[in-house]
Structures are given as structure tokens and as C-alpha cells.
Chain A
Amino acid sequence: MEELRAVIEDLLSPLLGGYAAWAATFALTMMKIVAIVLPLMLCVAYLTYAERRVIGAIQLRIGPNIVGPMGLLQPIADALKLLLKEVILPARAGRFLFLIAPAISLTAALAAWSVMPFSPGVVLADVNAGLLFVLAVTSMGVYGVIIAGWASNSKYAFLGCLRSAAQIVSYEIAMGFALVTVLMAAGSLNLSAIVLGQEGPTFLSWYWLPLLPMFVVYFISGVAETNRAPFDVAEGESEIVAGFHVEYSGMAFAIFFLAEYANMILIAALASVMFLGGWLPPFDFPPFNWVPGFVWFFGKIAFLLFCFLWFRATFPRYRYDQIMRLGWKVFIPLTIVWLVVVGLWMQTPLWFWN
């Protein structure tokens, strides 16, 4: 990395003089960002394809299979179609806010990836308070929803945004408490340090075992945070048309879609970093630890994403008051109790996860 930096700096110094060092840093950071975002967008595109195929299989249908071999070009065709469509501005909508809302959603979904460790040392920004950073950045995604619903100047969009925002704020509390137990176990807020804290001979040394209830709470809260079925009341088609993005069309709508799927991948990645050992192999002996770390990491993410799709095909939609009950009256007390249990457990010699 440093050599690359020096090369770029040398190339730019005749042009920019003293500013070449900056420009090199800037260019290198940009390259790293592109290296994360481009594959991520590709993953998002193929996650939509995977979703349609998996749910098709669960419902004994085929799913998209016409465009390209096995329908593999379907996401590209969808993206092209949405790009070519007109973005319609509703009458008396707040123009600026209406257009900036999808951008806020997507920014929040992408910014959190900057602290994600893919392999030992492979991370864009190795921030000390990485876990907090992720929580803060993802909590800003709710503004995309609120602003979209309000600026649309439409009752259905507004109702959808209120539902969604209340749901996201409620489940964030349970999620935060689940993360507190993780940072207690790891003794660090740095995501790389959390993965390294789970190092051990087998998958039993990962945090899913002592923090199993927290893992379940975190994952279900993640499903609720991303407004996915069975918690997708924000876009309940049968009740409020399509929720907060009912007035959006074309690429503006597509960006909300991208943000939702990028958020799903983010939740799956965070769950695998915090509870399933990130890039660590399930067994630390030859046939398993020959496989490079990021393959394990992506495998874990893929499994959790499959769970997202599986839930959507399996469970009926929750009623709104039941969602709130689950968040406030079941998950938050459960997490608080488990916080105390873990605190006490860590003081005994029976705590094996150091």
C-alpha cells in the first residue's frame, strides 16, 4: 500500500507540487472505497436474483430464468429498465428533500462498510470505536425513510414512514444492548479485535455460544431494522400501497431498493463478525485453515442472507402492535437480563471465551 502511495505521489507531484501527498492519499482512499462498493453493488444485484430464485424454489416455482443463461442477466436488465424510467416529482413535494432522501438511505448503508474487516488487516479504516461507528451510521439511515415519507406530500407515504421510523428506533435499542454484550466479551469496540477475540480451535470459541440469545435477538432485530418480511409493515402492500417510497419511480426508487439490500448484507456481515467469528475457519486444522479467510467470511454472510430470504418466504407479516410488543416487551428485557448474566458469568472461572 505504501509503495503504491509513493508511486501515485511521484506521478502527481509535477502537476500539483506540495499538494501531491494529499492527492495521493485521496486517490488511494478512493480506490479502496471503489474496491469495496463495486463488488457490494454487484452482490446487491445478485442478491435480488438469489431472492427471486430461492423464494421461487420454496414456493415450487422457477423464478427468473429467461434473460441470459439461467436468468443470470435479469438483475442487469432490471437495473437498465429502472435507469431509463422517468423520475416523477409529485406536485407540491419538497423537491430537494424528495431527491436527497434516497441518497441518504444509500450513504448510510454504504458508509458502515468502511470499518468492516474482511480478512486480517484488510479494512478500509481500522477505527478504535468501530462498533459504535457502525451503530451511529446505520441509525442515520432512518432519515432517508422519514424524509422520503414527509417530502412525498402523500398520506400513504407518510404513514409508511412513521411506521418504519418507529420500528427502526425501537429495534435499535435491543440491537444496541446485544452489541454491548459482544463488546463486554471481546473487551474492545474494534471489529478486528472482536474477531481476533473469538480465535480458537473450533467454532465453539465463537461468541454465538455464550451469547446465543443475543445472537437471535440481534438477527431478528436486524430483520426488523431493514424492514424485511415478516416485519415489512412499512411497505405493507395490502394496507398502505408501498409505504414510504410509493411516490418514487425510476432510479430514485431503485436506490431505496439498493439501500435495503445493502443493509441486509451489512447486517449479515456484522452478525458474522460479532457472533460467527468473521474470517475465522470453523476448525483450526489443515483442510479448513487452508481456505483463505474471506471465503469463510463470505460463506457465513451468504448463509445469513439465505436466512433473510427463507424468513420472507416462510412467515406471515406481523401486526404492527405485535412488532412493537416484541421489540419493547420481549427483546429489551431479555437483552438486559442477559447483559447481567454475561457480566456475572465473566467473573467466574466458567467463562472460556477469552
Chain B
Amino acid sequence: MVEYGEEKKLRGTVPSFALIVFYAFSAVLLCAALGVILVRNTVHAALLLVLAFVASAGVWMLLFAEFLAIVLVLVYVGAVMVLFLFVLMMLDANLESLRSGRGRFLSAAVALLVAAQIAAALNRDSFLQLPRFEAPAEAAGDNTRLLGSVVYTEYAYPFELAAVLLLVAMVAAVALSLRRRKDVKYTDPAVQMRASPAGRVRLVDMPSEKPPQTATVETNKTTEKRKGEKQ
């Protein structure tokens, strides 16, 4: 990393290191995002989407939003996209039929809508007259701590609402997909753990071979003696 003082010293002669890293990440991000919609193989598209997430996490990291960047990688790359890839790999979805059919117009409409939404959000001064939020100056220091203190105080209700929404979705998904199959011979591990050898196996004390004739009397005696001890 280049320290601030150094950066100032260098400015004018060479571009700052952060700037070059920013352009590198942005180029990767744009190429990957284009790839997502242009490649024919769905699995390749999903993997390019993963690359786009990682690149945008890098851009966020440059903005000192290290918590958001790491959580983006942790949640979207590490969990969501893995499950997405699972589905794609097993479904073997056919993109060609999606591209040629009536779906084209629907996708175009959705894309236009989303683009308009983004434009409105970026340009909210003129469009919705919403107040513009500036990133607090302290955010550059310990982004994680600051975010935590804001999310659990000022924005506690929206945060809790989002959590409840996710919980509802989770409960719904479980309720829809849970089924108990009757034809499966399922063994309960708790029952298995409770099984004791006494209930399963009876150990019988038997002499391993017929003792030689001369020692018969004595051996019998010792066996009886052992039996007596047991009782």
C-alpha cells in the first residue's frame, strides 16, 4: 500500500497506485459483466458473475468500505453463487430457447426498467427530490465499527425488517420443499448412540476345546468356580 504522504509527493509525476488499481478492477468488472450476458454457456456466465462480484469488492475496498467488500465476497461469492452454480450445473438450462422466444421482449422490458431505476437513484436530486446521503468522514477509519453502530441504532427498524423478510423467505422455502419420505429406512443416530452391547450381544463362556482326559476333573472344577463367582 502507498501511504498518504507518499502519494502526495508522487502526484503530478506518476498516477497514484490506487488509481491504477481502480482502473484495473473496473476493467475486469465491466468485461466480466458483459461476459455474463454475452457468453452462451450458463455455467461460464455464472462464473463470470462471480468474477464481477470479486472485482466490485475490490473497488469497494479502494473506497475504504472494507466491511461491505468482504461481506460481498463472503455472502455472494462464498454462498449464494455456489448454490446458484449447483442449480445451473444440474439443470443444464438452455439459453438459446430463452433468447429466441417471446422472453426476449420481457427481458428487454425488465432491463429497461432496472436501468431507469438505477438512473433515478443516481440522479435523485432532480428526479425524486430525495436528500443525498454523504458518506460520513469517519467511515474511512474503521468502517466495520461505524456500520455496526449505525445499523443497530439509527437504522435498527429497517435492519430488523430486512432480517424478518429473509426469515419469512427461509421458512417458506423450507415449508415448500420439506417432505418426509415413508419408503426410506432412516436410522435415528440418537437411538444408535444409546444402543448398549448388553442389549445386542450375549457373551457365552465356553471352553475353546475339549480339555485333555487327565485334566478333566480339575478344569470342570475351575469352570464351576468361575460360574460361582459370576453369580
Contact = CB atoms under 8 A, between A and B. Distances in A.
Nearest to A189: B144
A141 B78 CA distance: 9
B189 A132 contact: no
Contacts, number: 80
A133 B70 contact: yes
A147 B47 contact: yes
B79 interface: yes
Nearest to B188: A325
B43 A136 contact: no
B14 interface: yes
A46 interface: no
Interface stretch (A19-27, A70-78, A299-307): A19-27
Contact of B78 (A128, A136, A162): A136
Given A21-B2, A21-B10, A140-B78, A128 B66 contact: yes
A17 B10 CA distance: 11
Contacts of B83: 169
**Dominant SS at the B interface?**
helix
Interface residues on A, range: 20 to 34
B6 interface: yes
Q: Which secondary structure characterizes the binding site on chain A?
A: helix
B46 to A, nearest CB: 10
A128 B89 contact: no
B86 A132 contact: no
A165 interface: yes
Contacts of A143: 47, 50, 77, 82
B13 A18 contact: yes
B66 A322 contact: no
A139 interface: yes
A165 to B, nearest CB: 6
Interface string A120-137: 000000011100110111
Interface of B: 1-2, 6, 9-10, 13-14, 17, 43, 47, 50, 54, 66-67, 70-71, 73-74, 77-79, 82-83, 85-86, 89-90, 142-144, 189
13 contacts: A17-B13, A25-B17, A128-B142, A129-B67, A129-B70, A129-B144, A139-B73, A139-B74, A140-B78, A142-B78, A162-B89, A165-B82, A169-B83
Interface of A: 17-19, 21-22, 25, 97, 127-129, 132-133, 135-137, 139-140, 142-143, 146-147, 150, 158, 162, 165-166, 169, 172, 189, 322, 325
Given A97-B47, A129-B143, A162-B86, 19 more contacts: A17-B13, A18-B14, A19-B14, A25-B1, A128-B66, A128-B142, A129-B70, A132-B71, A136-B77, A140-B78, A142-B78, A143-B82, A146-B82, A146-B89, A162-B89, A165-B86, A169-B83, A189-B144, A322-B189
